[in-house]
């Protein structure tokens, strides 16, 4: 077990509680809208669920550039104090919205949680190199990545409880926000090595020019641009596959909520385990050959999952006649275990794909630019997630089968594999001699 510095430990917990609160509140709101058939602005309940996702991610488009500039301009730790104090206020507003049943206020609170995440994201990843030596960057990023996905899982599942009683949700919301602030206050203020660089950096408050300049900064360095394209591809595939899991559980296996939760848990578990397996295999060093190799493995698993779903869908008619399938009966079905194994391997490879890219990004980027680079990464990630949503909406509108959609995503992934093998050809060739 590697020794973790107290500073990194505090950073880990404050970011974990932030991700937990975001997803906890979002899940609680989605469940309430779904089961109480809430309609706002003339938008039906089913579309409101999609709107919630858009409301949360929207700030990443127009505020990421500003957040990155502020994090490079100001003391990152001081800024994190202010952000976590704001999270406590947002949680109080969320509590008021829940207790009064004001869905307009709750939607606004979800937007504010998105704003808070937008401002904290660049700080979180740019502080990691301050609290972890270069030889432990892979391990530190594995910790943060795993913690984030565990928080997403717990928040998503826990937010679905208390549908009839809001007090447990209100209490959890406030406690989690306080814990995030508590650990943030344990972070020591930065020791600024080059105050002149911070002094000359001017914050551009114009959304269009700031975003354009940060995207230019991202692609100024060929390697940095390539790493961010890879990270954004992870979110393209990850967001697309996660959105298909409920359909896989319900439409193919006629599974109930427990089966859908199992699939989600399996997927997130792989994301949490993958980085640590990678850290052991590479002994904590950044090995660029892992990037194309892990994506190749993902491609094989996606195609296998597509094939298995095609086979399983042949019996979906009979399952619909029988009725909803619970966990006990799910594992008696043909191909059920193979689907679970595929989901685990898919996310395992995903975790191994993303962590070395973040570690390398932190290693090669100057500290004075790192927050802006992370902000640029967040903008492109958000575009990737919106893009895959549009693709899936089109596929569903054309009544493509789930198996065919996965095969298409596998095809997209194969194209990206070829591109990454080309750009990392020297490292990829070293893999065969490893």
Angle between helices 45-73 and 76-100 (to 10 degrees): 160
Quick one: 37 and 122 in the same domain? Answer: yes
Quick one: 298 and 414 in the same domain? Answer: yes
Residue 265 domain flag: yes
Quick one: 252 and 346 in the same domain? Answer: yes
Residue 390 domain flag: no
Quick one: 135 and 10 in the same domain? Answer: yes
Quick check: 13 pLDDT over 90?
yes
Of 204, 234, 267, the domain-final residue: 204
Number of domains in the chain: 2
Which residue is listed with tokens 């095809």?
Answer: 411
Quick one: 424 and 300 in the same domain? Answer: yes
Of 154, 171, 204, the domain-final residue: 204
Give the model confidence (pLDDT) of 28-85 as tens digits. Answer: 887 777 667 777 777 766 567 667 777 888 888 888 888 888 888 888 889 999 999 9
Quick one: 360 and 279 in the same domain? Answer: yes
Quick one: 268 and 411 in the same domain? Answer: yes
Average pLDDT over residues 161-172: 75
Give the model confidence (pLDDT) of 353-371 as tens digits. Answer: 888 888 888 888 888 788 8
Quick check: 420 pLDDT over 90?
no
Return the number of other C-beta atoms located less than 10 Å from residue 433's C-beta: 5
Measured distance CA(150)–CA(329) in Å, rounded? 27
Measured distance CA(434)–CA(430) in Å, rounded? 6
Residue 2 domain flag: yes
Quick one: 26 and 116 in the same domain? Answer: yes
Residue 269 domain flag: yes
Residue 62 domain flag: yes
Q: pLDDT value at position 196?
A: 47
Measured distance CA(421)–CA(285) in Å, rounded? 20
Measured distance CA(422)–CA(427) in Å, rounded? 10
Measured distance CA(45)–CA(39) in Å, rounded? 5
Tell me the CATH number at 5. 1.20.1250.20
Measured distance CA(213)–CA(206) in Å, rounded? 11
Which residues are paired to 43 by β-bridges?
40
Quick one: 137 and 269 in the same domain? Answer: no
Range of the domain at 300: 222-364+398-434
CA end-to-end span of the chain: 25
Give the model confidence (pLDDT) of 100-150 as tens digits. Answer: 888 889 989 999 999 999 899 888 888 888 888 777 788 888 888 888 878
Quick check: 19 pLDDT over 50?
yes
Quick one: 168 and 238 in the same domain? Answer: no
Quick one: 111 and 28 in the same domain? Answer: yes
CA 183 to each of CA 6, 51, 56, 119, 152: distance values in angstroms, whole numbers, following the listed order: 10, 32, 24, 17, 19
Helix (H, G, I), strand (E, B) or coil at 335: coil
Residue 95 domain flag: yes
Measured distance CA(262)–CA(274) in Å, rounded? 18
**pLDDT: is 42 or 168 the higher one?**
168
CB 306 within 8 A of CB 407: yes
Residue 384 domain flag: no
Residue 217 domain flag: no
Concatenated DSSP letters of 37-73:
T--BTTB-HHHHHHHHHHHHHHHHHHHHHHHHHHHHH
Quick check: 318 pLDDT over 70?
no
């Amino acid at each position: 077990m590697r020794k973790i510095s107290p500073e990194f430990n505090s950073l880990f917990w404050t970011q974990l509680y932030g991700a937990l609160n975001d997803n906890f509140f979002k899940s609680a709101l989605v469940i309430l809208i779904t089961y109480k058939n809430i309609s706002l602005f003339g938008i039906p309940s089913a579309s409101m669920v999609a709107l919630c996702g858009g409301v949360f991610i929207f700030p990443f488009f127009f505020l990421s550039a500003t957040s990155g500039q502020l994090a490079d301009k100001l003391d990152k730790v001081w800024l994190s104090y202010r952000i976590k104090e704001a999270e406590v206020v947002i949680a109080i507003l969320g509590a008021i919205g829940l207790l009064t049943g004001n869905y307009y206020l709750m939607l606004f609170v979800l937007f504010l949680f998105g704003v808070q995440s937008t401002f904290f994201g660049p700080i979180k990843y740019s502080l990691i190199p301050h609290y972890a030596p270069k030889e432990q960057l892979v391990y530190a990023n594995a910790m943060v990545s795993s913690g984030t996905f565990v928080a997403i899982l717990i928040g998503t599942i826990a937010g679905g409880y208390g549908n009839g009683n809001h007090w447990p949700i209100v209490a959890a919301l406030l406690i989690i926000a306080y814990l995030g602030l508590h650990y943030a206050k344990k972070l020591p203020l930065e020791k600024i090595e080059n105050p002149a660089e911070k002094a000359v950096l001017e914050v551009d408050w114009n959304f269009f020019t700031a975003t354009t300049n940060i995207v230019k900064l991202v692609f100024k360095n060929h390697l940095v641009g390539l790493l961010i394209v890879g990270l954004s591809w992870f979110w393209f595939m990850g967001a697309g596959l996660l959105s298909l899991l409920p359909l896989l559980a319900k439409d193919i296996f006629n599974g109930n909520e427990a089966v859908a939760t199992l699939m989600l848990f399996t997927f997130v578990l792989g994301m949490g385990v993958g980085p640590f397996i990678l850290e052991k295999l590479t002994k904590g060093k950044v090995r660029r050959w892992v990037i194309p190799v892990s994506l190749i493995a993902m491609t094989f698993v996606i195609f296998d999952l597509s094939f298995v779903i095609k086979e399983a869908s042949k019996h979906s008619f009979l399952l619909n006649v029988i009725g909803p399938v619970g966990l006990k009966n799910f594992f008696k079905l043909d191909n059920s275990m193979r689907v679970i194994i595929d989901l685990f391997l898919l996310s395992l490879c995903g975790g191994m794909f993303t962590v070395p890219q973040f570690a390398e990004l932190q290693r090669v980027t100057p500290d004075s630019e790192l927050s802006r680079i992370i902000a640029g990464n967040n903008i492109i990630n958000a575009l990737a997630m919106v893009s895959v949503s549009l693709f899936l909406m089109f596929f569903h509108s054309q009544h493509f089968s789930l198996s065919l959609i996965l095969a298409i995503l596998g095809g997209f992934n194969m194209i990206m594999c070829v591109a990454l093998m080309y750009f990392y050809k020297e490292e990829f060739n070293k893999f065969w001699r490893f």
